[in-house]
Structure 1
Amino acid sequence: MHPPFSPSARLTALGTQLIEIHDWLREELVRLRASLDSPGGLTRELRAHCVGFCAALHRHHTGEDAGAFQVLAEQVPELRPVLATLSEDHRVVASILTRVEELVSGPVAGPAVRAELDGLAALLESHFTYEERTLVAALDAVSAGTAEELLGLNVPDGNSAVEERN
């Protein structure tokens, strides 16, 4: 895990931490999609990675909705329409994650999972880019909370797999 930040360092880095979390989620999704092409199809390990990724992404989005978005709505009211749009995206992503989890828990062929993950990847890239463009500066000015409290996850260290975080 990362070394603890001083309160002032954390405050100036929250926007950067959001980007780092998004980058990590992007990388995990690339790994997950690439592993679908490996021989053996949906192995137990691949299913566990998929469920772990879905859980981490869900934690991030519910953390944002209950944490960062609430704080930003209070401290920067002009962002409320943006936050509402992003929260709606979170609900759409949650429905895709539910479908993915249902598919990997049953006797499914890889193409159905691939289709859901490809759609998820396209949606997330658009969502993450918009969120980063509209919220990073405001997040850097937030005066309360940790990355885990406000963003749902700590900044991933890049050395451990999704399953290890759950």
Structure 2
Amino acid sequence: MAAEGMEARDSMGRTLHPTGSPTDRLAAVGNQMIEIHLWLRAELARLRADLDTPSRDLRAHCLTFCAALGRHHTGEDAGAFRLLADEVPELRPVLANLVADHDVVAGILGRVEELLAGDRPLPTAQVRAELDGLAALLESHFRYEEKRLVSALNALTGRPGTAEQLLGLTAPAD
């Protein structure tokens, strides 16, 4: 683990996720977005696998995941996407597509939350169908977002602020 104030780096020396910065300056925001996406993918895969052996914690895990994904997309819409729209106007059509995806994802998350509400038995087949659709949409969405935005986000390095302010959350440390 990196020491406080140091940056974690991958095997090629690229900055992955600042673990702390005394000056609260943005660093490698695009790389941090990729880390968040990797974590969300892993959590969704784990959640889908947990549907095969439901436990009493499944509802809580699902609701926690839905909240984290919603917070990430809301954070991007209000933070990173607004900043990029101002700083890199040619990305506005890309950002509009991504915001539209966020709306579709929010609809799926709402349906999942409705399926989990109450004390009735978990409608596993319906939840699985929603999560499978979500997984397919997110994979396409994340790849498009990463391909189109990582370089522009990484160019924000050195500005005041935090990645959490731009991306809605930070990838949890393992």
How would you bin the TM-score normalised by the shorter chain?
0.7 to 0.9
- Greater relative CO, 1 or 2 (CA 8 Å, sep 6+): 1
Structural mapping, 1:16-55, within 5 Å: 16-38=31-53, 41=54, 43-55=55-67
Q: Does 2:95 correspond to 1:79?
A: no
**Is 1:155 aligned with 2:171?**
yes
Matching residue of 2:13: none
Shift of 1:144: 4.4
1:109 pairs with 2:99: no
2:140 is equivalent to residue 139 of structure 1: no
Please report the RMSD computed on the Cα atoms of aligned residues, expressed in angstroms.
1.8
What TM-score comes out, normalization by structure 2 length? 0.83
Q: Does 1:59 align with 2:71?
A: yes
Counterpart amino acid of 2:88? V
Q: Residue 15 of structure 1 contacts residue 139 of structure 1 at CA under 8 Å; is this kept in 2?
A: yes
In 2, Cα distance between equivalents of 1:96 and 1:8: 35
Segments of 5+ residues of structure 2 without an aligned counterpart are 5-17
Residues 8, 147 of structure 1: CA spacing in aligned structure 2 closer, same or farther, 3 A cutoff?
Answer: closer
Contact 1:148/1:154 (8 A) holds in 2:
yes
The structure with the larger Rg is 2
Aligned AA for 2:146? E
**SS of equivalent residue, structure 2 residue 37:** helix
What residue identity is the alignment partner of 2:124?
G
1:20–1:156: 8 Å Cα contact kept in structure 2? Answer: no
- How far residue 6 of structure 1 moved from its aligned partner, in angstroms, is 5.6
Cα shift readout 1:56-99 (whole Å, capped 9, x = no counterpart): 00000000000000000011000000000000000000000000
Q: Deviations over 1:112-161 (max 9, x none)?
A: 00000000000000000000000000000123431110000012213xxx
Task: Check the 8 A contact 1:147/1:155 in 2, yes or no.
Answer: no
2:100 is the counterpart of 1:88: yes
Which structure features the higher share of helix residues? 1
Partner SS state of residue 146, structure 2? helix
Aligned residues, how many?
A: 154
Whose strand proportion is higher, 1 or 2?
A: 2
- Would you say the 8 A contact 2:24–2:161 is kept in 1? no
Which stretch of structure 1 is more off in the superposition, 140-149 or 128-137?
Answer: 140-149
